[in-house]
Amino acid sequence: MNPRPTVDFSPFAEYSREEWAGLRADTPMPLSDAELEGLSGLIERVSADEVVEIYLPLSRLLNLYVEGAQTLHRASVEFLRKPQNKMPFVIGLAGSVAVGKSTTARVLQALLSRWPSHPKVDLVPTDGFLYPNRVLEEKGLLNRKGFPESYDLSSLLTFLADVKSGRSKVRAPVYSHLIYDLLPYQAIEIERPDIVIVEGLNVLQPAKKLPSDGEAIPFVSDFFDFSVFIDAEEELIESWYMERFMRLRQTAFRDPASYFHRYADISDEEARQTGLSIWREINLVNLRENVLPTRQRADLILTKGADHAVETVALRKL
């Protein structure tokens, strides 16, 4: 008997690194070595190969989506015969703690802002929408930072609704990893952006009912025009988390203002144990319970291997 032909039900088309790199076409590499250096996070610089082979094709694809949305917006303004403000294109960027969201967000911001049709690209990390430590403590959530319930969801939704209604100036609160809390008098102000990149663990979470009135509320991702999930094996992410933790111990934790200052002077082994237990008891649990289950909701999944090198790219079929 002939085996049944296999049917591909996956909503994604998968590209190997080589196939994806070939989609760059003639997009020029717009970043100098010095700019790349400035963009990288704490430990390793993002390699020029990575930018050329992965992030340039992605910026080219996103440019097509953004220009398509701009054309559609102009057509509907004409149809409605009502003047409307500039409408930013919103990109959601999700994935585990330490998988490389903020580094990727900064690379994309730099690349996307080189296109003349969308030069103003703003970046908003969702940690600014965590409840302040005082509130987390009252709610018994101080050890659940990053879990869905640790965010002020209505404030995040209000921010996104303001951005997507074309308001000319919108402010987002700011979280500090140094003091491990919100910065009370600071805000990210975004003013008439072309693109907003919203980066955070939980941006693809399904909607929850707000306890206040039991009304159904939107998904955060309802406000996204495109979303990206960054994925990697747990062991790799743990090693990136630990590398960053041990490096911070020699840098930021030395600052007496740092919440983690007490970890600056303990032995390497004690620090390693502390970092590992924060990873295993908080961030890994959150990855398994809340973050990973949202992966299939993204429009594009970047899967990384060792050294943060992207090995496959899965793009939602249109």
Ligand X SMILES: Nc1ncnc2c1ncn2[C@@H]1O[C@H](COP(=O)(O)OP(=O)(O)O)[C@@H](O)[C@H]1O
Q: Which among ligand PAZ, ligand X, none contacts residue 205 (Cβ within 5 to 8 A by kind)?
A: none
The reply on whether position 63 binds ligand PAZ by CB under 6 A is: no
Q: Which among ligand PAZ, ligand X, none contacts residue 283 (Cβ within 5 to 8 A by kind)?
A: ligand PAZ
Helix 268-278 to helix 234-250 angle (10° resolution) is 130
Distances (CA, A) of 229 to 143, 160, 246, 316: 25, 19, 26, 12
Minimum CB separation from ligand PAZ for residue 142, in Å?
8
Q: Which stretch binds ligand PAZ (CB under 6 A): 67-75, 104-112, 241-249, 277-285?
A: 277-285
CB of 174 closer than 8 Å to CB of 183: yes
The reply on whether position 187 binds ligand X by CB under 6 A is: no
Interface with ligand X in residues 39-58 (CB under 6 A): 40-44, 46, 50
The reply on whether position 95 binds ligand PAZ by CB under 6 A is: no
The reply on whether position 258 binds ligand PAZ by CB under 6 A is: no
Grouping H, G, I as helix, E, B as strand and the rest as coil, residue 7 is coil
- Residue 50's CB is within 10 A of a number of other CB atoms, namely 20
Q: Which of 31, 36, 97, 108 binds ligand PAZ (CB under 6 A)?
A: 97
27: exposed, middle or buried (C-beta count within 10 Å: 0-12, 13-18, 19+)? Answer: middle
Minimum CB separation from ligand X for residue 62, in Å?
17
Q: Please tell me what DSSP assigns to residue 151.
A: B
CB of 266 closer than 8 Å to CB of 260: no
List residues binding ligand X (CB under 6 A): 40-44, 46, 50, 95, 97-103, 240, 244, 308
List residues binding ligand PAZ (CB under 6 A): 97, 125-127, 145-146, 200-201, 278, 282-283
Q: Indicate the annotated binding residues.
A: 95-102
Q: Indicate the annotated binding residues for ATP.
A: 95-102
